[in-house]
Structure 1
Amino acid sequence: MDLRRLLELLAAGKLSVGEAESRLSLTGIDALEDFARLDTGRHARKGVPEVVYAPGKTAEQLVKICAAMVRATGSAIASGLEEGQWQALEKEFPDRITTADPRARIMVIRAPGQERSSDAGTIGIISAGTADIPVAEQAAIMAGEMGCTVLRAYDVGVAGVHRLADPLKQMLSSDTRALVVVAGMEGALPSVVSGLVPVPVIGLPTSTGYGLGGEGITALLAMLQSCSPGLSVVNIDNGIGAGATAALIAKAAGR
């Protein structure tokens, strides 16, 4: 059903506002030349904005996709950026970049006057080591773009687990609704945290370490084998997915 027909039915009283909103959220597809079909209705449909995955795209394609997303939704999130792509976005949107983290290889571009929401509740991001911070920041930025307040505690892994106590107390006293726990190497920290807290924990394995640990396989398998209930796990280095899941949990908990 096209937009005009939808509006005619709404005006005639044959559709309720809720029904019209639901149908509109399913029609948000923006075809861009012959290389992209943008899901511009994703945020309205499920509360998670589309993220533009940069690897495999030319700088020109990436710029066009981000520009189209900004026009349609007010913002664009680009992840996995390489140096040439980063420079192309900086050149195209010099005054519209609101978040840019080279470590996390992620950038947020926003239309003038477009504000992100900040009413989704609080989540926490915990990393085992400093080397895990780039992936942890992907999760933090994604959750922030979905309206969460994000508390961070980095380099508190099991080699010195006493470092975890104070930041964990602070997070729990701040009505934190979900935790993302990021770890490479042996991947033990998410199980430890999950055994201590009354909120959902999302384990985020990273490709930090050496040998099998360097590919993240050991961390992933360790988290999947956890005996601590309440721990869910995303794929290796999937900070975007972990942040989105934590934000959805926080939103649902606040309803």
Structure 2
Amino acid sequence: MDIRRLLEQVKDNDLEVDQAMDQLKNLMYEDLGYANIDHHREIRNGYPEVIYCEGKSDEHILGIIEKMNKKGSNILGTRCRKETYNKVKEIYNHAEYEELSKILKIKNKDIVNLGKGKVLVITGGTSDIPVADEAYYTAKFLGNDVVRLYDVGVAGIHRLLNRLPIIQEARVIIVVAGMEGALPSVVGGLVDVPVIAVPTSVGYGANFGGLSALLTMLNSCASGISVVNIDNGFGAGYLASMINKLK
């Protein structure tokens, strides 16, 4: 909701006070019984609430989308099943879906690029792309210029070093890697900007579903590296966007 526009309408006598009150009554949050939609989040944090679709029924997801859509919000859903998207698409024909990352997008208003520079998403291998794409599409949807650099892991370090100009012009870098998770340390030693490390569950048995990569990243000897949880591409994309928009 555009509060400033609403107040200006009241000031100019284009909107009755009672009508404005009707629009404001669900400003803080809206109780649907199964969900409390935080409509106020965009005003507080700069971004609307994001729907984490995994574990939610299609009925609940559609109900949340309906209420957010009435507010004119841009809607982002993560971990969305293709079957759920197909149901959403029947109602909202402008909905979009990213197959690998399972990202659902509904754009109800223009996305303004407020980023101060480029966000770069790097992967160690091709198997890390679903998590990396979750970060990529999240940061892009939140209004950033985002670039991808995939499959440049430490097993062939020359692939990474050959792309140094792209790496060094980024303002924020997201590094997504599984296996032993060494790539963020290498990147962190090459740049003077924040690096967000994302461990993935990619790897053989002893990587313990991404725990080995997580521990490596947490114990990085390179400075300026923050770490999000295993497979949390969304969290990395969101954090990168917040950093990129700082003055």
TM-score w.r.t. structure 2 length? 0.86
Summarize the Cα distance change of 1:60–1:148 in structure 2 as closer, same or farther, 3 Å threshold. same
1:152 maps to: 148
Report the Cα offset of residue 214 of structure 1: 5.5
Two-structure CA RMSD over aligned residues (Å): 2.1
1:123 maps to: 119
Residue 247 (structure 1) aligned to one of 238, 241, 245: 241
1:125 counterpart SS class: strand
CA distance in 2, matches of 1:214, 1:50: 32
CA distance in 2, matches of 1:167, 1:70: 41
CA distance in 2, matches of 1:165, 1:217: 27
1:225 maps to: 219
Could you tell me whether the CA contact under 8 Å between 1:124 and 1:171 is conserved in 2? yes
Matched, 1:137 2:133: yes
CA distance in 2, matches of 1:30, 1:171: 43
2:20 maps to: none
Could you tell me whether the CA contact under 8 Å between 1:53 and 1:80 is conserved in 2? yes
Deviates more, 1:196-205 or 1:213-222: 213-222
1:182 maps to: 176
Structure 1 runs, 4 residues or longer, greater than 4 Å off: none
Could you tell me whether the CA contact under 8 Å between 2:82 and 2:99 is conserved in 1? no
Q: Deviations over 1:56-105 (max 9, x none)?
A: 211111111112112224221111112321221122212x12x4211101
2:18 maps to: none
Corresponding pairs, count? 227
1:55 counterpart SS class: coil
Structure 1 unpaired stretches of 5+: 12-23
CA distance in 1, matches of 2:232, 2:72: 24
2:71 counterpart SS class: helix
Matched, 1:200 2:200: no
Residue 166 (structure 2) aligned to one of 156, 170, 173: 170
CA distance in 2, matches of 1:172, 1:44: 33
TM-score w.r.t. structure 1 length? 0.83
Percent of pairs identical after alignment? 41
Q: Deviations over 1:146-181 (max 9, x none)?
A: 1110011000000001101233312423xx211000
Structure 2 unpaired stretches of 5+: 12-23
Q: Letter of the 1:89 partner, please give it.
A: V
Write the mapping of 1:66-85 to structure 2, written as runs, cut at 5 A: 66-85=65-84
CA distance in 2, matches of 1:240, 1:203: 12
